Amino acid sequence: MIRLTTENTQNAVAKCRQLKPRVKFIKDRLFVVYSANNSNVYHVRFDVRNGDKFGECECRASERGLICYHLVAGATANIYRQSLKLAK
Ligand SMILES: [Zn+2]
């Protein structure tokens, strides 16, 4: 899993805003992100350890340790979901 920081997610956030991929919640911190460019779908997972956020995607960029826009899309949905839970 890759540690997510404000710095290393910047480019992916910009790309995510541009492409606006669809995200579907599966369970817990698992999401499916639909590629904006083709028919691929990627599972993205998240974890929190000692207050740090970690994420993992199935695409090639993530395999190389890069933050992809799928991760950011999933993370955005995850944060939104957590905030809904807290609001209850
Ligand atoms: Zn990805």
Q: What is the CATH number of the domain that holds 29?
A: 3.30.160
- What are the residues whose beta carbon lies below 5 Å from ligand 1 (ion)? 42, 57, 59, 62, 68, 70
Spacing, Cα 44 to ligand 1 middle (Å): 7
Spacing, Cα 50 to ligand 1 middle (Å): 24
Domain with 22, as residue range(s), is: 2-87
Spacing, Cα 87 to ligand 1 middle (Å): 29
Look at residue 79 and tell me whether its pLDDT is greater than 90. no
Which residues touch 21 (CB under 8 Å, ≥6 apart)? 33, 34, 35, 36, 69, 70, 73
Spacing, Cα 88 to ligand 1 middle (Å): 31
Q: Tell me, what's the pLDDT at 22? A: 96
**Global pTM?**
0.90
Average pLDDT over residues 9-25: 96
Q: Tell me, what's the pLDDT at 47? A: 94
Residue 35 exposed, middle or buried by CB count within 10 Å (0-12, 13-18, 19+): middle
> In total, how many domains does the chain have?
1
Core vs surface per residue 46-76: b (16+ CB within 10 A) or e: beeeeeebebebbbeebeeeebbbbbbbbbe
Q: Tell me, what's the pLDDT at 88? A: 59
At 21-64, the pLDDT tens digits run 999 999 999 999 999 889 999 999 999 999 999 999 999 999 99
Q: Over pLDDT 70: what percentage of the chain?
A: 98
Q: Tell me, what's the pLDDT at 82? A: 84
Cα–Cα distance for residue pair 21/26, rounded to 1 Å: 16
